[in-house]
Every structure is written in structure tokens, then in C-alpha cells.
Amino acid sequence: MGIVEAILLSVITAATPLVLAALGELVTERSGVLNLGVEGMMVMGAVCAFAATQITGSPYLGILAGIVCGAVFSQLFAFLTLTLVANQVATGLALTLLGLGVSGMLGEGFLGMQGIKLQPIAIPLLSDIPVIGPLLFRQDIIFYLSIALVAGVHWFLFKSRAGLKLRAVGDSHASAHALGVNVIRTRYLAVMFGGACAGLAGAQLSLVYTPQWVENMSAGRGWIALALVVFSSWRPWRLVAGGYLFGAVSISQLHAQAFGLGIPSQLLSSLPYLATIIVLILISHNRRTTLINTPASLGKPFVPDR
Amino acid sequence: MRIELEKRAKISTLFSILSPFIAFLLMIVFGGIMFALLGKNPVTALYSFFVEPLSEVWSLHELAIKAAPLILIAVGLSVCFRSNNWNIGAEGQFIMGAIAGSILPVVFYDWQSPLVLPLMMLMGMLGGALFAAIPAFLKAHMNTNEILTSLMLVYVAQLFLDWLVRGPWRNPGGMNFPETRTFAANAILPEMIASGRTHWGFAFAIIAAILVWFMMRYTLKGFEISVLGQSERAGRFAGFSSRRMIWFSMLLSGALAGLAGISEVSGAIQQLRPVISPGYGFTAIIVAFLGRLNPLGIIAAGLVLALTYLGGEAAQLSLGVSDKVTRVFQGLLLFFVLSCDTLIHYRIRLVWYRFTASDLDGSR
Amino acid sequence: MKKLLLALASTAAVIGFASAAAAQEKAKVCFVYVGSKTDGGWTQAHDIGRLELEKALGDKIETQFLESVPEGPDAERAIERLARSGCGLIFTTSFGFMDATIKIAQKFPDVKFEHATGYKTAPNVATYNSRFYEGRYIQGVIAAKMSEKGVAGYIASFPIPEVVMGINSFVIGARSINPDFKIKVVWANTWFDPGKEADAAKALVDQGVDILTQHTDTTAPMQVAAERGIKAFGQASDMIAAGPKTQLTAIVDTWGAYYIKRTQAFLDGKWETTSSWDGLKDGILTMAPYTNMPDDVKKLAEDTEAKIKSGELKPFTGPLKKQDGSEWLAAGASSDDGTLLGMNFYVEGVDDQLPK
């Protein structure tokens, strides 16, 4: 295996949780809801996935548990912000606080346990293609899911009737309501999808990336995911580009260090953040395209008239 | 059962005062149950959280110290948020303010003058404002979303501080540990009252809150902020420029975060070290909204949040619970406070209803 | 619900007596932790020490702790809270608590303080530290024997003297066996982020190292090493469970011995300000069993350990050159502790540059 392939393999592992969590948040935000609790939902997914895997011995049940946990946990946020119209920004931050605390409590019994790593699945024929095969077709199911979900979400948002409704809710909830779309229900589901994706991202952390449970193991990745949604201008495929760009720069800087280039490690460590900013500047100069894709009702509460 | 909200004709003054108390009562009930389920004495727990930190003078001082940066940052953020500028990088502005303000006591440590302290504060504000100018410029002129830029710059600021204190600014007499020299006496923000270590940073926070409250309430600028925040179009008709508002709100909040940074460093830490904030810039976002984006409300919210930190420590000692439990408690308290604020704008009705055909096909 | 109300009512009565109950006979020994006590690394090692202390002297003392205390003003408050709550002896277990400890110690002259890994003392403040580098030297020796390529990877946290000292000691140990041995260093810029540590480990393995050692807290690098089929060293605790066929040995922090010793002195009224820097011979650090290596290497490792314990071998002994090739220690000369505690330069063989 060449060094480039090796780097790319690490990049895929590092980028997958970012893409997944960001994808969920993208759908949530497209419906007009800003949930800053991604970090909390992610860490809940990580602890549930790990615990379920330890108890049942099956990482696949673990994945399921991670998804369910993230989705259920997100409904707390949904109830507060959608039913009780509490402020979304503050509630999201409180959700993160709560998630870090609850996951720490739940995970206490699982600290120091040896994780069960989710094994890759080689896809017949495709996995034999040189270079691309080992990179893309000998991966674990969460990676395949992440790509399938991106494609699915793209199709859903731009090609399906339900997706159109969701975007309508995010762009103008009043008009959507007037047209007979159930705004609150749509948003509940969108938040739930966001939670499920964040939970799946968490499962990737504790089953693939580093098969173990430690407190706060998401270590700020939920925040990066939030930034990536903005980076993508709420478009799924751009999100993949952003996630992989961030992952690639993060991994490359470690290689640069191991190479002994003699550049301060702090400067190298800040490169992923700077790179994301610079690329965003380059792609967002066109005000009109950015505006078209930004959900106009983002963060605004909605209460149906009766 | 279903919960229905009905918008009140006008904001309920009664509930805007009452809602924090309702939240508090709910928290006592739920928190009590939570601690009872954990096998801890609920009364001791609640006493440690809410009463013990307020029962001693030294602890009140600690409360002020903890609340000061939160209030100062949140006041600036409230202007940003009201005008729809999503600065979530106050943490970075806090750090850059601390760094800029520390140039005098760290690099020009020989210079002894009564001017040092005021200059430090000014440079701190300048440092924070300049760092906030980056996302402001990018938003106003390059159309780049400020949520991403301001957040990413936080990490850059943290790493820059890390590099400074391990490299060029390292204390030559400090055994090569990552910290700058300790500030000289004339570079230390003095204590406000003799009874404890609350420094003038708390006064800055209160003054800033009152000034911004006055601005929002009585000046044209305040009106401009609200109008532009509610509708950019309406603002344009009134002759307000949203681009100027981006600059104004970001620079103001950056300056206040920077002031918080240098006050914290000069008043409480008295040197720079790799980490100078346990996430004040992020916690302040909660404080801003908990205070309903009203500077006076923010003072109260900052104190309440600081209280839960102190109370969490007291509970760790008196009950032997882990810090995780205190974080859950904090999260729940925030949930209750936030949801009770609903009562200010809405009447809540519980509706008992039966399924009808229209519920099944999802349209109503 | 009725039960709950009853419980509430009865506990309300109890609280009145709570303050009276606090004034009891047992001395209180308290700890301030920078992380969570279940972090699997630095703080957990201290907490294990605290539990050993309770076990040994539990009839005469009780212990209390505050965890996840951020450095800075929060630390000052936490330490003061403990001092006020009647703690007689307080251990502050992070370098960043140094100035806070000194400040509060001035306010509470009757309370004794012990600060880990710092250098400032006072009439009621002692410092303590562990010679982790002795273990690193042994690791270097093993690495040089076990590595086929003669290159080891080192995942470092932050460039503080403690970490630099460890890197140097590792290299000196390795070069005592193989004079051409080299290491590659990656700074993760974190103590605790499993993902980043794993990424750093992968980067090092991809660049051709065949032994990994770490100065960060999670077992993630050990897992990567196990997956890639190379050998690795554990840090802070015995990480054998994460790599049963991977771990060669680990440096295990065993603070308990020191805590018991000092608390006993405190109870006997013989507590004095000291700056203690204990090593392998005092049991403040121990080596996890030497595993996954041939018998001759194991023998060599055990001999090295014995020599360090007896004082026959001091890792920082000349002839040694600095990274730039200039002379540091002449043949036979050993470094003084002061230079080590403030160490800010590499010795020959390190493929990295320190921030100036």
C-alpha cells in the first residue's frame, strides 16, 4: 500500500463521522430548525452504540442503538423548540451540555472495556479494482451508509415531493402552512433525522474510528459538523467535499509533522480551520446562489394560527 | 394529549417576571426526583446547588468572578444576535483580546506607569474587535457566512495562544513551562472591595450591560438594530445599512469579548497560559438567550449560570456525585428556564383529542 | 409519590444535623483533579492512588475530591472550597494548579498543600513528581532491540519539559543499543482525543515506524498498533487489554505509595515542605509486565530496570550531544535535576524541532 493510499484511508475514517453528522443537521436546517446540539447527540450515539455492542456482542445492533439513541435524544430538543417554541440556539447548546453529562453517566460502566471493531465488508469484484478497490469498496457499513445517505438526501430534497415540502417549510413556514403542509410534524421528523444521523456518526466513533468508550470522545467534532453545513451552503454533495477537505488537511498535517518539516505544530494544526475558511470565501462570492440555498426561516419559531 | 399554544395579544408582564420562578419550582421537583433516584439526599443536593454558594461572603465573590466574563461577552453577543449576526466565535475574540492586552505586561514588562492598566484594557478591546473584524469583513464584503468563519477562528486563536506561551512569550524564569511571566503589580486589575477577590472586571460587565441597555432602549442605534434584525428590507427602507450593522455589531461584541479576556487574565489569572477560558465564549451564548437578549436580563442569567457552576462543586463535595451529574442538572435547569419563557408570549392549552381521519393522512 | 414526600420530609430534618456531623474526628485529605476521575489516564491514576490511600489509612482519614476543575480562577475557587471545608492536606494534581495552590496556601497557613509536577514551594506547600523518564529509557532499550527498521514513532501531547524529557530519555535508551536509532515525533496538541491520537498513530505507521510510543492519555494509539501488527508501549496505565499481542510494557503511574507516605507524615505531625522527585525505586512508577518480546530482550529490560533502581544507571549520563551536534554531557557526567525539570532541547537522534 502506497503512502497516498494510506493517507486517503485515514482521511475516509476521519471524514465519515463529520459528513454523517453534518448531513443530518443539513436536513434539520433545511426544515428551518437550527439545532446546535449535534455534539451532544453524537456523544449519546457513541455511548449507546458502544454499550449495546458490549451487551449483545454485535456491532450491528450497536449501530442501531446509536441511531435510536440519537433520534430519541433529539426529540427532547424538538419538544422544547417546536411544541414549546423555546429558543433554538440556547436549547441546542443546553442539549449538548446534557448529552455530555448523560453519556458520561451511562458510560461509566463501560470505561476501559475493549471495543469490538466493526469489520469491513468487501464488495465482490469492485473491491479488486486497484487503488480504488481497497479505498472505497473494502470499507465498513457505516461508510457505505454515509455515501448512500448523501445520495438519498440529495434525491429526497431536490427530486421528491416530500423533500419539496420540507424545503418549503424551511423557506417560508407561513406559506407552507397555508398550503396545507404540517409544519410542526415535518420539523419533528427533520430533527429526528438529524439526531439519527448524529447518533450514527457517534457509533462510527466508538465502533470504527477508535473502538472504545471514553467520555467526551466526540471531542468537538459536532461543532465542525455544524460549520460544514454552512460550508456546504445546505447542499449534500458539497458537504462531502467539505468533510473530506477538512479530513484531508487534518491528516496531512500529521504527516507533515512526522516528516519532520520543522514548522510549528500549532500552525499545522490550525490549517484545517484556515483551509475551510479560505475555500468557503472562494465559493461564496456569489451572493445570489448562497441566498437561494439558505433556508430563509432558519431558527425562526413557528406557531400555527388556529 | 396534545399541547397547543395560543399567542397572547401582548407580552405578558406577569409571566415575564414569574416564568423564572416557575422554572425554578419545576427544577426543584425534578432535580429532587433525580437525586432521589440516584440515591442521594435531594434536600442536601438542592441546598448545595442553590443556597450554599450564596451563604458565604467568599463564595459571593467567586460568583461575581465567574459571572463577569459571561455577562460581558453575552451583552456584546445580544447586540449581534438581535441584528441577526451570528457571531459564535466570542471565545476566539476573548483569547485574542487577552493576548493583545498582555503585550504590555509581557513584552514591555519594564514599563511602570499608571497608564499601563488603562492601555491594557484598551488594547484588549482592540484585539477582540480586530479579531471579530475578520468575520465581519468576510460577511460584509465577501458574502461569507459568519457562523463558520467565527467558529473556525476560535481554534486558530487557541492554537496561536498555545504557540505564544510555549514559544516567544514563555517566561524566561519559568523552567520552560508554558506560561508567560506573571504580571507586575501595576498590570493587575485591582480588587473592587476589600472583603474578597472580585476584581473590576465585574464592574465592567455591569457598566457595559447598563450602557448597552440604554443604547437599545433609548437611542436611534438601538432602533436600527431591532429593525434590521427583524427585517433587512424594512431596515433598508428606513435608510439603515445592513452592511454597516454587520461591522457595528461584530466590532462591539468583539471588543466586549476582548475586554472580558484581558480583565480575566489581568484580574484573575495574572499571566497568560495555554488555556485561559473554560469555554466562556460558548457558555455566554446560552447566557445571552437565557437573558432574553436583554442586557439587564443577561446580568441575572449570568449570575444564575455561575451559581450552577459553584453549586455543582458544592454538590460534588457534599454528595459525592460526579461532575457528570452536575452537568445533567445544569442542562435540565436550562431546559426548564427556556421552556417556561414560552408563557410570556403564549397561553398553553392541553388538548385531549381523538384520532380523526385527517390525522392519518397527515394533512390538517 | 407519597414515599417521595416522606423521604423529602425526613431528609429535611437530617440537613439540620449535617453541619454538626461534619465536625468529626477523622482528618480530611482532599484532591483536586484536572480531568474526570474515570478518564483512563492521568487523573484516574491519581484517583487510584487516592483509593489506595483510603484503603491503607481509612480508619484515620477520609478523602474528598473535586474533578474536572479547569485551570485558572476556577482552580483557585475549588482549592479554597476544599480548604474551607476542613481539609487538612490537599493534593493538587495538575501543573496548571501551581499558582492557584500557592495563593490559597498563603490564605490558609494551617492547611498543608502538595502540588504535583510544579516547582514553586512555600512553608505549607510541597511539590512531588515522578521520574517517568526512567521508564522511557527502558522503553527505548526495548524499542531498539525490537525494531527492525530502527525507527520509532512518538505521539506527544504538548512541548513541556516533562514530555521533552521523555522523548530524550527514550532516544538515549534506544541509542545505547543501536547508535543509529531514530524517532519521529507527532504533536497531537491534545492530551485526550482518541480520534486525533489514532490519526497520529496511523500517520506514523504509514511513514514506516514499526514501534509506537505515546505521551497522550487514551488507548487509541495502542489499538492502531494492534491493528497494524506492530508493537507499542502503554502510557499512564497498563494498556495490555487494548493490545494483548501488542504491548511490550507500559509506564504505570502509581501515586498511591507517595500519598500514603505523605499522609502518614501529616498524621504524625512530621509533615515538612519537600520537593520530592521519586523514581522506579520508590514505586511511584512501575513497569507493566514485559510481554510480547523474546526472553533475551525481556532479560535486558529487567536488568536495565534493576540497574536504574540501584542507581547504577542514570539515563541522562554522558557522553551525550544535543540535537545540533554540540556537546551536552561529557563521558560519565550526569545531568542535574534542574536542567531536566526545565528541559527544552532535544538530544541527537530526534527527527523534530522544538518551538523556540
Write the residue in B4, B138, B330 that is nearest to A281 by C-beta. B138
Q: Which pLDDT band holds residue B358 (cuts at 50, 70, 90)? A: very low
Write the residue in A212, A215, A221 that is nearest to C219 by C-beta. A212
Closest CA to B243 of B139, B99, B144: B139
Cα–chain center distance at C251: 9
Say yes or no: ipTM exceeds 0.95: no
How confident is the model over B249-285, as pLDDT tens digits? 999 999 999 999 999 999 999 999 999 999 999 999 9
Residue A290 lies in a domain: no
pLDDT higher than threshold 80 for residue B352: no
Q: Do B362 and A185 touch (CB under 8 A)?
A: yes
Q: Do C194 and A212 touch (CB under 8 A)?
A: yes
pLDDT of amino acid B359:
46
Q: Do B151 and A287 touch (CB under 8 A)?
A: no
Number of domains present in the structure of chain A: 1
Q: Which residues of A touch C227 (CB under 8 A)?
A: 117
pLDDT higher than threshold 80 for residue A240: yes
Q: Which residues of C touch A251 (CB under 8 A)?
A: 199, 202-203
Q: How far is the C-alpha of B152 from the C-alpha of C182, rounded, in Å?
A: 36
Q: To the nearest whole angstrom, how far is the Cα of B41 from the nearest Cα of chain C?
A: 7
- The count of C-alpha atoms lying within 13 angstroms of the C-alpha of C47, restricted to the half-sphere facing its C-beta, is 18
Residue A83 lies in a domain: yes
Residue B360 lies in a domain: no
Q: Do B331 and A284 touch (CB under 8 A)?
A: no
Write down the domain spans for chain C.
26-130, 132-252+285-351
What does the DSSP 8-state code read for residue C333?
Answer: -
Largest CA distance in chain C: 80
Q: Do A10 and C241 touch (CB under 8 A)?
A: no
Closest chain A residue to B160, measured at CA: A266
Terminal CA-to-CA distance of chain C, rounded, Å? 65
B268-272, B342-346, C84-88: least confident range: B342-346
Report C:98-117 residues touching A (Cβ under 8 A).
Answer: none
pLDDT of amino acid A1:
60
Query: Residue B361 burial by CB count (10 A; 0-12/13-18/19+): exposed, middle or buried?
Result: exposed
**Numbered residues of chain C with Cβ closer than 8 Å to any chain B Cβ:** 4, 7-8, 11-12, 14-15, 18, 36-38, 64-68, 70-74, 76-78, 80-82, 84-85, 95-96, 99, 119, 158-161, 189, 341-344, 355-356
Consecutive H or E run containing C152: strand C151-156
Contact C199/A at CB under 8 A: yes
pLDDT of amino acid B18:
86
Q: To the nearest whole angstrom, how far is the Cα of A18 from the nearest Cα of chain B?
A: 15
Chain-wide mean pLDDT for chain A? 91
Residue B335 lies in a domain: no
Q: Do C198 and A209 touch (CB under 8 A)?
A: yes
Residue A233 lies in a domain: no
Say yes or no: domain C26-130 is CATH 3.40.50.2300.
yes
How confident is the model over A163-178, as pLDDT tens digits? 999 999 999 998 999 8
pLDDT higher than threshold 90 for residue C38: no
Residue A294 lies in a domain: no
Give the mean model confidence (pLDDT) for residues B142-168: 92
pLDDT higher than threshold 80 for residue A276: yes
Write the residue in A97, A108, A269 that is nearest to B331 by C-beta. A97
Q: Which of C4, C11, C84 to mutate to test the interface with B (most CBs of B within 10 A)?
A: C11
Q: Using the structure block, give the residue that is written with the C-alpha cell 453577543.
A: B77
Q: Which pLDDT band holds residue A53 (cuts at 50, 70, 90)? A: very high
- The count of C-alpha atoms lying within 13 angstroms of the C-alpha of A294, restricted to the half-sphere facing its C-beta, is 16
pLDDT of amino acid C355:
63
Q: To the nearest whole angstrom, how far is the Cα of B289 from the nearest Cα of chain C?
A: 24
Q: Do B66 and C99 touch (CB under 8 A)?
A: no
Q: How far is the C-alpha of C216 from the C-alpha of C33, rounded, in Å?
A: 17
Q: Which of B8, B96, B145, B351 to mutate to test the interface with A (most CBs of A within 10 A)?
A: B145
Q: Do B339 and A94 touch (CB under 8 A)?
A: no
Query: Residue C123 burial by CB count (10 A; 0-12/13-18/19+): exposed, middle or buried?
Result: exposed
Residue A188 lies in a domain: yes
pLDDT higher than threshold 80 for residue C356: no
Report strand pairing: A121-122 vs A138-139: antiparallel
Query: Residue C311 burial by CB count (10 A; 0-12/13-18/19+): exposed, middle or buried?
Result: exposed
Q: Do B143 and A270 touch (CB under 8 A)?
A: no
Q: How far is the C-alpha of A298 from the C-alpha of A291, rounded, in Å?
A: 12
Q: Which pLDDT band holds residue C5 (cuts at 50, 70, 90)? A: very low
Give the mean model confidence (pLDDT) for residues A235-260: 91
Say yes or no: domain C132-252+285-351 is CATH 3.30.70.1090.
no
Number of domains present in the structure of chain B: 1
A271-275, B55-59, B197-201, C19-23: least confident range: C19-23
Chain-wide mean pLDDT for chain C? 89
Q: Is residue C239 within 8 Å of C250, Cβ to Cβ? A: yes
What does the DSSP 8-state code read for residue C69?
Answer: P
Give the mean model confidence (pLDDT) for residues A219-240: 92
* Set of cell numbers at residue A129: 479494482
Domain span at residue B184 reads 68-297
Domain span at residue A163 reads 13-219
Q: Which pLDDT band holds residue B353 (cuts at 50, 70, 90)? A: low
